[in-house]
Structure 1
Amino acid sequence: MRACTRDQLEKGKDALYSDLKACYGIHILVGTLFDKPEEEDCWFNHYTMLNTRTHKPLVNHWHLYYIELEKYLRSLEKKAEARPLNELEEWALFIGTIQDNDRPLDERINHNPMIREVYKMIETFTKDEHLREKYRVQEEFIRVQKTNEYMTEKMRQEIIRLGHEVEHFMAEQERITAENKAALLAQERERAEKERERAEKERERAEKERERAEKEAFKKNSILQLRRKGFSDADIISTLGVSDEDIRNLD
């Protein structure tokens, strides 16, 4: 659109944007582009460049028109008489309906001279075998091209889907691996804690055993020293507070 407007101006300081002629884009769609429920009856749409705050047009140089044929035919059937109301609707009915030259032109649009002229051109065209074959080959090429485009897009979507599945699978594997690592670390920490507790108990047991052995050795030395000094066994028992069995164990 920019090239359509810009190229109208000649180079020089006297060129004014106000001198530009408007550019129009007209799109006649077989299918439906604007498919929201509230747009079901809006088969003719006009777009231009507006200020998003005030909705005022910026310039009158840029216009896009969309005509949705399927949507128009659906809205036409809802009318009581199912007849087009103006020339635009007549052309939408003509273009949106398959024209069979074995049958007369639809009486609802037969009064339009331009449509009748186009209809006769189509009739002439379809009676020419060479043109029909050329048209058939072209249509076949278009169908093949559209099929290839459809299959390519379908394949692309499938590749994207598979890619997402692979990503999901890899993420799930990473999650499982992380959970397994966390479980192993927890088990290792638990094992290390039990090993530490066991070692602590073993150290305490060894410490108690050492203390017991030291007490026994001290008791034995004390008994022996008092005997050397001539104390009787009764005096040793009384002095050290040991038992008869402690005395007997030395003999």
Structure 2
Amino acid sequence: MRYACSGGKRLRAFLVLEGARLHDVPLDPALDAAAAIEAIHAYSLVHDDLPSMDDDDLRRGLPTVHVKWNEATGILVGDALQSHAFALLAGANLDGSRRLALIADLARCAGGQGMVLGQALDIAAETADAPLSLDQIKRLQAHKTGALFGWSATAGAVMADADAAPLSAYANALGLAFQIADDILDVEGDEAQTGKRVQKDSQAGKATFVSLMGLEAARTAAQRLVEEACDALRPYGTGAENLRQAARFVISRQG
């Protein structure tokens, strides 16, 4: 489990902590929520890398869990990380109703209405009669990537029982920009910096934002989405500058 959680950008945890800071949430429950989302994210990567899914052998610059150990270990590690995430939230020092809201929201965003649905759509696309359209890819990624971004960004508002709408709008734009940037990195990224195989989608003939829009149009779309994300933060004024910087980082990162 520690191996699966090592490395990475910790972007989702950062979103949780910044949202909590904006709403004056105490650090201890904020850290529990941040650790929970990283556990969910790590579980999703371990399972996504399995031979029955994307069959990847490199993650965060290291052999994937099933390559280093075996496929059964990969399944069990992912299961354990998912359970640990909900245990962290259940033990958070929060009012019971807010704790329950965090747990219910994460179950929805990580499960069959969110990330798991997105992964199912992705797998189904591999054997579909025709490549996905741009609208279909947006829907897929809104679930597969965007759902956990949404939970991460709004968790602070949920813990404070505050209006989460501005952070939800921020996350919607940010999640899509993140995926477009990922598709760009798959085309022109350096494996040593990304920590995972590159050009895998293009070699498989998979429909992506880049394959459907073209490289420059994809860059422009990602930049526009970052601007939308930053605009959504206006209610927080200069207090949300770290979140604005995170949005800009998403499309400038090399890994």
TM-score by length of structure 1 reads: 0.23
Q: Which has the higher contact order (CA 8 A, sep 6+)?
A: 2
TM-score by length of structure 2 reads: 0.22
Larger Rg: 1
The structure that is strand-richer by fraction is 1
